[in-house]
Amino acid sequence: MSTIEQTLLRLQQSAFRAKFHLSEKDRQYIMGKGMETIQHHAADFIRTRIAPAIIPNDGKQTPMRGHPVFIAQHACACCCRSCLNKWYHVPIGRELTEDEQKRIVRLLMAWIERQLATDAK
């Protein structure tokens, strides 16, 4: 299993995944809410939109904008079960375990933190 850092580097090799960045509005939202709240949002989005075994609108459940976590999901290929399967070999049609959900949230938060650090320079 690769580390978060290795995964983020691998994702940056994809032209599609590398094009995602937090907007100024996203950054302001994060600063206003705080990272703990953003992490709770991420956990909730993963639990309700990605973790179920059957997702009627798989591939369309994660908007391309509107919340920093949505951007992170697309950047990290955690936006739908098809992407999770392609990038991380997570089987489609099976509910995600709590551990899998936590690992996804950690990856999303690491991406967001990296974006914020990059923007601060």
| Domain total in the chain | 1
Residue 8, domain member (yes or no): no
The separation between the first and the last C-alpha atoms of the chain, rounded to the nearest angstrom, is 31
pLDDT in tens, the chain (121 residues): 479 999 999 999 999 999 999 999 999 999 999 999 999 999 999 999 999 999 888 888 898 889 999 999 999 999 999 999 999 999 999 999 999 999 999 999 999 999 999 855 4
Give the domain extent around 115: 31-120
Query: Residue holding tokens 């206003």?
Result: 32
